[in-house]
Structure 1
Amino acid sequence: MFNRLRLPKGFGFTIPLFLLITIFFNFPLIYMLGLSLFSPNPTLEHYAQIFENPVYLEIVADTFRIAFITAGIATLMGYPLAYWITKLSLSKQIIAVTIIILPFFVSILVRTYAWIVMLGNAGVINGTLLKLGLIGSPIQFLYDEIGVVIGTINILLPFMVLPLYATMVQFDRRLLLAASSLGAKPFTVFRRVYLPLTLPAIVSGASLVFILTLGFFVTPAILGGGKVQMTATLLDFLINHYPDWEVAAGIATVLLIVTLLFYFLFQRGGTKTT
């Protein structure tokens, strides 16, 4: 009987990790779910408030829309950048990847405030466009959705480029030569061979950028200036200013469920291409 209950070899080494995940990850999620369902009594009233209040739904919808836009633009920028890096020599690839990784050593807060200098009405971008005569008046980048998207892409683009580069650098170039030898034109080779085999990396990078954007707080708060509301800023208001912890927990739970659903769809779409 005791032999049947014997734990797998090495199971003891996983206990600290299990406790760490349970205490710092699972318990807060369970507490958040319980707060939304059992405070003060078992009820769905807090969820009813969310779906009855159009402001909450609009902010959540705007958050997902911004996340989709950010992930889409990051894909369009990251894919050719990663491809270009793979075409460099090994020493230049190391330099390029190092440059991409370097921003991780700079605080997100500092990088976000730097964009105020770039995007302000008297900033570098507007100043340059005015001097070139391309615009007659400054473009409103700050405290608008476009500024939030630009700042978010700047911070999350490495999360798109690195998975793509890791896949592309290991790509078997003989497949491209084989397709070319069979008479396929370069664009056909890319569309029928290269793109499908790198599509799982696109899905992984895009899903990572998408999910990270959903929980962004610093960049929308600073570059949005309170005018661009996202779920993270809404939760901050409900927790620290209003406060309404139960509704905040309900919104966070809804966001978590929808995020997991999108993650499942992303991953299922990626596995179908392999």
Structure 2
Amino acid sequence: MPGFGFLIPLLLLMVVVFDAPIVYMLALAFWDKAQGFTLGYYGDVFEAPVYLRVLANTVRISVVATIVSVIIGYPLAHWIRGLGRRAKMVALALVVLPFWVSVLVRTYAWIVLLGNDGLVNRALQWLGLVQAPVSFLYNELGVTIGMTNVLLPLLVLPLYAAMARVDDRLLQAAASLGAPPSTIFWKVYFPLTLPSLAAGTLLALILCLGFYITPAILGGGRVPMISNVLDTLINVYPNWGQASAISTILLVVTLLIFAIYRRIDQTTSTK
């Protein structure tokens, strides 16, 4: 094919940088220096309840953080769409602003806000709403708040882009036919933004499964997630084979989630 030779360097770069490390990681779970080929690492994962509990905990927290992000992000994107031009630019700038700040800095900022002597607890005590500081940090609540903060821009921006493409004449036509605002939203507006919402939700959920910094800091070691277990297996013990087996299982879970999404998307598009 003409021009294919120009693509060879790019293909080689992708294989070396992206594919080779993944293949090597998968291979580590099937090889032991003493025994050779083995499935023992996978056996250890399913025989030790702690690994399965951490995996289930990771999926549960990821789902909760994703749902919270959707509940906040969708109305926020819809609100931005209805603003005037100048106000819309300011709102979008505030949404994009977190991308310019390190995730590490943003995570530590939540300690300043939500700590026992933080701004939020001081305000609650000053208003007389609580007598003692509320434990926002070093539990699942703190981890969920931090993860939601990281995920929101990733949801709001594509949602706003989809909402901005919705033709107002469609909404006006529905209103002229006597449809109430609720019917216009659920029958016209929401279906047009649903593909973007589904894609953003999938992206957020997949990113949650691999979160490391936020759970490690805001969880204080009390909220175990897969990424923290992998860090321990690699940097403390180290046990690369066990870490590879857990990583492979996490990869399979991610692919299953993506397959379910594709299945639902194809079923919806054919209707």
TM more than 0.5:
yes
Residue 111 (structure 1) shift: 0.7
Equivalence for 1:189: 184
User: Aligned partners of 1:96, 1:136: CA distance in 2, in Å?
Assistant: 36
Task: Give the alignment partner of residue 93 of structure 2, picking from 98, 123, 142.
Answer: 98
2:100, 2:268 → 1: CA distance?
Answer: 35
Matched, 1:85 2:97: no
| Identical positions, percent | 51
Partner residue of 2:127 out of 127, 132, 147: 132
Alignment partner of 1:263 is 2:262: no
What is residue 4 of structure 1 aligned with on the other side? none
Q: For residues 71-95 of structure 1, what are the alpha-carbon distances to aligned partners after superposition, in whole Å with 9 as ceiling and x for unaligned?
A: 1000010001101111112332222
C-alpha distance after superposition, 1:104-125 (max 9, x if no partner): 1111111111111111111111
Decide which of 2, 10, 16 is 2:3's aligned counterpart.
Answer: 10
On the 8 A contact 2:31/2:241 being kept in 1, the answer is no
**Which string of whole-angstrom CA distances, capped at 9 and with x for unpartnered residues, describes residues 227-255 of structure 1?**
11111000000000022110100000000
SS in 1 for 2:238: coil
In the alignment, the residues of structure 2 paired with residue 34 and residue 236 of structure 1 have an alpha-carbon distance, to the nearest angstrom, of 19
Instruction: Indicate if the aligned counterparts of 1:179 and 1:189 stay in contact, CA closer than 8 A.
Output: yes
Question: What is the deviation of 1:168?
Answer: 0.4
**What residue number does 2:158 align with?**
163
CA distance in 2, matches of 1:63, 1:200: 26
Q: Residue 226 of structure 1 aligns to a residue in which SS? A: coil
Task: Specify whether residues 232 and 88 from structure 1 end up closer, same or farther in structure 2 by C-alpha distance, changes over 3 A only.
Answer: same
Among 215, 240, 247, the alignment partner of 1:220 is: 215
Alpha-carbon spacing, 1:13–1:87, altered in 2? closer, same or farther (3 Å)? farther
Q: Which residue does 1:249 correspond to in 2?
A: 244
Structure 1: 5+ residue stretches without partners: 1-6
Q: Distance in 2 between matches of 1:214 and 1:198?
A: 25
Counterpart position of 2:140: 145
Question: TM-score, with normalisation over the residues of structure 1?
Answer: 0.94
Residue in 2 that maps onto 1:63: 58
The answer (yes or no) to whether the contact 2:62–2:208 under 8 Å persists in 1 is: yes
Residue type of the alignment partner of 1:269 = I
1:46-61 matches, within 5 Å, as 46-61=41-56
The reply to whether residue 76 of structure 1 matches residue 71 of structure 2 is yes
The CA distance in 1 between the partners of 2:153 and 2:266, in whole Å, is: 23
Return the offset for 1:271: 4.5
Inter-partner Cα distance in structure 2 for 1:271 and 1:171: 22
Q: How far has the Cα of 1:151 moved from its partner? A: 0.7
What displacement does 1:224 show? 0.7
Q: In the aligned structure 2, how far is the partner of 1:98 from the partner of 1:268?
A: 35
Question: Does the Cα contact within 8 Å between 2:111 and 2:218 map onto a contact in 1?
Answer: yes
Which residue in 1 is equivalent to 2:30?
37
Amino acid in structure 2 at the alignment position of 1:194:
Y
TM-score, length-scaled by structure 2: 0.95
Report runs of 4+ in structure 1 exceeding 4 Å deviation. none
Give the Å deviation of 1:202: 0.9
Partner residue of 2:106?
111
Letter in 2 for 1:249: S
Structure 1 residues 81 and 273: alpha-carbon distance in aligned structure 2, compared to 1, 3 A threshold = farther
Give per-residue Cα distances to partners, 1:20-41, cap 9 Å, x unaligned: 2211111111001111012332
2:222 counterpart SS class: coil
RMSD of the TM alignment (CA)?
1.3
Letter in 2 for 1:39: D
8 Å Cα contact 2:66/2:204 also seen in 1: yes
1:98 shift after superposition: 1.6
2:207 and 2:22 map into 1 onto residues whose CA distance is 17
Equivalent residue letter for 2:182: F
Equivalent position amino acid for 2:19 in 1: N
Q: Residue deviations 1:114-159, cap 9 Å, x none? A: 1111111111111111111111211111110100110111111100
Unaligned runs of 5+ in 2: none
Mapped to 2, the partners of 1:91 and 1:63 lie a distance apart of 40
